[in-house]
Chains A and B, each alone.
With several copies, the nearest count.
Chain A
Amino acid sequence: MTGGTFEVLLFGPAREAAGGDRVSVEVDGPATAGGVVAALERAHPALAPLLPRARVAVNRCYVEAGTPVESGDEIAIIPPVGGG
């Protein structure tokens, strides 16, 4: 439950900012959704401006920052949506 490498899916403006539809990130602290976001912010500065307003989805559900993540989870950054 602590640390590890996670792959994160990116969409829309996050995909565009990062120049790709997924990134890997090394999490040192607690392996939570918030920990992944904090690690992304450090490792991928291009994403940093988008992250404060983005939500996180784990296994295709929105989660809170404190939700634990495990290796094998499908983690995605969900910038403000525009459907409809």
Chain B
Amino acid sequence: MRLRVEITEAPLRPEAWIEEVADPSAGAVATFVGVTRNSFRGKGVRYLEYEAYRPMAERALERIGMEIAARWPPVTGVAIAHRVGRVEVGEASVVVAISAPHRAEALAACEFGIGLLKRELPIWKREVLEGGAVWRENEATPGRGGEPP
């Protein structure tokens, strides 16, 4: 299985990550792209600032890839990239691309991957609003303190 992960300041190009998982035996590529929205619960968002614990985040992305490989052995490729620094409205903050022979495992692995990433990846999001800024955390993790499942 191909596995490539990256934490980067550069804008994310989804097509680069789709190409990354290409494989002659893969009939399906499922991709999730997270994009900065212009509002959060009615408040205008100007931009986001992501901060990472970078070496741990890179390792966490690799573990997500290995966990996907263990759960869906047919998967042929996993590519995950997360941006750090300032991300404007409409820009991608995360791309998860999965290739597999058939669509069911590609789609399921993609959904699993983004869910695990949101719980485990040591990255923090500062939402800069029209009047102030807040640390915006992901929805509560079901209490697990340990390793990624």
Q: Which secondary structure dominates chain A's binding surface? A: mixed
Instruction: List residues of chain B with CB within 8 A of the CB of A80.
Output: 137-138, 140-141
Q: Are B93 and A84 in contact (CB under 8 A)?
A: yes
Instruction: Say yes or no for A13: interface residue by CB 8 A criterion.
Output: yes
B147 at the interface (CB under 8 A from A): yes
**Which one, B51, B103, B136, contacts A11 given CB within 8 A?**
B51
Chain B residues with Cβ below 8 Å from A12 are 51, 124, 126, 135
CA distance A84 to B29 in the complex (A): 12
Q: How many residues of A contact B (CB 8 A)?
A: 22
Q: Are A82 and B125 in contact, with the CB atoms below 8 A? A: yes
Q: Which among B82, B146, B147 is the interface contact of A83 at CB below 8 angstroms?
A: B82
Pick the residue among A13, A61, A78, A83 that contacts B50 (CB under 8 A).
A83
Instruction: Find residues 25-56 in chain B having any chain A CB closer than 8 Å to their own CB.
Output: 34, 50-53, 55-56
Which residues from B are CB-within-8-Å of A81?
Answer: 118-124, 137-138
Q: State the B residues within 8 Å of A (CB).
A: 34, 50-53, 55-57, 59, 82, 93-94, 103, 114, 117-126, 135-138, 140-141, 145-148
Q: List 11 A-B contacts (CB under 8 A).
A: A57-B122, A60-B53, A63-B145, A64-B145, A78-B122, A79-B137, A81-B121, A81-B138, A82-B135, A83-B117, A83-B122
Extra contacts besides A62-B148, A81-B124, A82-B135 (20): CB < 8 Å: A11-B51, A11-B122, A11-B124, A12-B126, A13-B135, A60-B56, A65-B145, A76-B122, A80-B138, A80-B141, A81-B118, A81-B120, A82-B136, A82-B138, A83-B52, A83-B82, A83-B123, A84-B93, A84-B94, A84-B138
